[in-house]
Amino acid sequence: MTRETEIKTASDQTRARLLDAAREAFSQNGFQGATVREICRRAEANVAAVNYHFGSKDGLLAEALNFGPLKAMQQANAEANGCPEMRLRLFIRDFMLMLLDEKNPSSQCRIMARELADPTPALDKIVREAIAPLHKFLGRLVREIAGDQVGETELRRCVHSILGQCLFYRHSHPVLQRLYSKLRYDSKEIEEIAGHIADFSLAGIKRLAEKSQDVPCVSANGSGG
């Protein structure tokens, strides 16, 4: 290996460590709370390395917010065999694992959750690249389950309800740990939480679909059909 190659390899490794450290720091402390000094300490890098590799803290955040895993999860779900109800269960389980699983965390999803609770200037990028596509994907899936009779407003509220239930367990973790001291987000607990959210959501969607079918027809003169 030539000296030039060694330098390039070391530089690439530093850059990768900075990204990993930044994702963890942003997910734990938010964009404002995560300092460049702390990120570099975690990455075992010189403070000047952030400017060298990314131009600024904003540039580092832009690189750290790579929502590839979230997009891949949606793509895999869309291509999965099974009825839409099973795909919704699969989506909720996979999303909860991304949010909560300490052994296989998705720091990008945690950054997204953090931004929803405490917005910073990074929120516009997160909405554009992650949240809007996620809402669109989940809306299509809920539409498959609910049918065409459910209105767009109700459909949107279903999406909000499902995501709200998922994010609750992330945002409220410090409170829940104080209320239930033995609570741990291990794989069994995450599976059971995801199953509960899916059961609850599917029951609600089914009820909305039934209500939409019960609405009486109105004739031209205004009387019920």
Which range of 42-46, 166-170, 199-203 scores highest in mean pLDDT? It is: 199-203
**Domain residue ranges in the chain:** 7-64, 68-212
Task: Identify the residue whose tokens are 């998922």.
Answer: 166
What's the fold here for domain 7-64? Arc Repressor Mutant, subunit A (1.10.10)
Residue 170 near residue 100 (C-beta atoms within 8 A): yes
Look up the CATH number of domain 68-212. Answer: 1.10.357.10
pTM for the predicted model, two decimal places? 0.77
Task: Identify the residue whose tokens are 């190659």.
Answer: 5
d(CA 93, CA 90): 5
d(CA 18, CA 72): 23
**pLDDT tens digit string along 24-46?**
888 788 788 889 999 999 999 99
pLDDT at 225: 40
Task: Identify the residue whose tokens are 């997009």.
Answer: 71
* From 14-28, 72-86, 190-204, the region with the lowest mean pLDDT: 14-28
